[in-house]
A = this chain, B = another copy of it.
Amino acid sequence: MNYLDIYQTYRKKIKAYDYALWLISWDQETEAPERSNDYASNQLEVLASAQYDLEMAEERLEAINHLYDQINDLNDEIKIEIKKVKKSIDRLLKIPKESYIDYQVLLSKSSKVWAEAKHNNDFESFLPTLEKIVEFNRLVVKLYETDTLKGYDVLLDMYEDEMGIKEYDQFFDTLKENLVPFVLEKTKKKPKFNRALTRNKFSIEGQRAFSKYLLDVFSYDLKKGVLKESVHPFTSGVSSTDTRITTAYHEDNLISSIFSTIHEMGHAIYEQQVNESYDETLLNGGTSMGIHESQSRLYENMIGRSYEFWAQHYPKLQEIFKKELKKVTLDEFYAYVNGVSRGLIRIEADELTYSLHVMIRYEIEKQLFNGKLKVKDLPKTWNKLYRKYLGVTPKTDTEGVLQDIHWAGGSFGYFPTYALGTAYAAQIYHAMNQDIDIAKAISSNQIHLINEWSKEKIHQFGGLKTPKEIMLIATKEPFDPHYYVNYLIEKYKVILKD
């Protein structure tokens, strides 16, 4: 066997374990009975360990090194794959096995510690755990640093290729200059909505029916997907032929499930439309967190919160909730789904203020990894930044620094991709509008045209192109955050005009 064959033989095996681990986790999060959890964890551990042994097999590493040495003789697909694999293995080998295992053990317990601390508004009880997690990530930074990649950049690069402090600073500075003043000026008043929307109960059954309707509207392919329910909505894809989503229904919030379903469809349609032949490779799925989020946000916000969309689909919602929505006009409903307020909670934030929540986390992470901020001082800094950029102050750490699970899971460098993806979305939306009349596509119930454009310009490539390359292909220019700021200000100066 030549090295390529060896590599591909291992890949086939490793992907089978990916599949098993993916399915166990999907099952546990959506359907598995409560008491099955311990048993499932034990089996998962065995399978993950078998997969690790395959990944680290001498024979495989040797094959990868040989292929890397002759990288220019390989075709594009495999070349890109080998580069990625080589990078990830080189990194893994740098971490002392003992530290790695200690960290995995720490993480396996940390989300429970975090959840309890959040529940009890007790940051101190989470502090020792969080300090250890940060410490490990500081070690990772040290071990992974290269001539061109330093400090927090190491972590940022893990989630979004070629995005570092320099690029993110530029991005967030644009928001600070243009968006923060607009937000602070325009959100002084609390918005008022038709009370039928905020006071009524909306049956889960009715919401389920509307979510099913939405699958059809967006052409989410149920032959290659599933819609289920879970505590927190998510997308979970393992191949272009199997990309599943969940949503969550709340009786006292009609639109939460609607926008979750649309958001997750954005993620899922991306993965469903990746070149099917990549399913056997490591190029399946999206290329980066940022591009992924651009798709979910474009579907959720640019399509799902547009006036054209609700002009077309509000009648169906009214048909389902005859009694509850009888006295709510289309304009009132549109105002409601685009309601803006200064909030404390990121995942409840509106389209306009969302990125400012992310920016705060970015500033904090940057300081954590350049040594300017100690973990114990997180709550103080958090609250200060919320006052500065959103004009609000958390009364408790529960609704402040403890609100997100990400840090408890060791994810540093991840948050910024949420804002970046949202900004990508505005630029992609602008470019798409040059090729197709988006408003018309939405009004004439032809969202499949948007899917097709996205497939051609973005989705089909999977992991073959970098985020930068994707932006160039899709929008014909590099990423420019002004599209995002302009989009928001254009939209919200109308909505917030009085």
Contacts and interface: CB of A to CB of B under 8 A. Distances in A.
Interface of A: 12-13, 15-17, 19-20, 23-24, 27, 31-36, 38-40, 42-44, 46-47, 50, 221-226, 228, 238-239, 241-242, 244, 279
Interface SS of chain A = helix
Contact of A241 (B33, B222, B224, B228): B33
Q: Which of A13, A16, A32, A279 has the most CB of B within 10 A?
A: A16
Contacts of A36: 224, 239, 241-242
Contacts of A46: 12-13, 15-16
Given A13-B50, A46-B12, A241 B38 contact: yes
A33 B225 contact: yes
A27 B24 contact: no
A239 B39 contact: yes
A242 B33 contact: yes
Given A23-B23, A34-B223, A242 B40 contact: yes
Given A23-B27, A33-B226, A226-B33, A242 B39 contact: yes
A242 B23 contact: no
Nearest to A238: B39
Contact of A20 (B13, B47, B221, B225): B47
A179 B223 CA distance: 49
A330 to B, nearest CB: 31
A46 B280 CA distance: 13
A241 B28 CA distance: 13
A24 B228 CA distance: 17
19 contacts: A13-B50, A16-B44, A16-B46, A19-B24, A19-B43, A20-B23, A20-B43, A23-B23, A23-B24, A23-B27, A33-B221, A33-B241, A33-B242, A34-B223, A35-B223, A36-B239, A36-B242, A39-B239, A40-B242
B13 A241 contact: no
A349 B31 CA distance: 33
A484 to B, nearest CB: 34
Contact of A242 (B13, B32, B47): B32
Contact of A224 (B12, B33, B221, B239): B33
Contact of A39 (B33, B35, B225, B241): B241
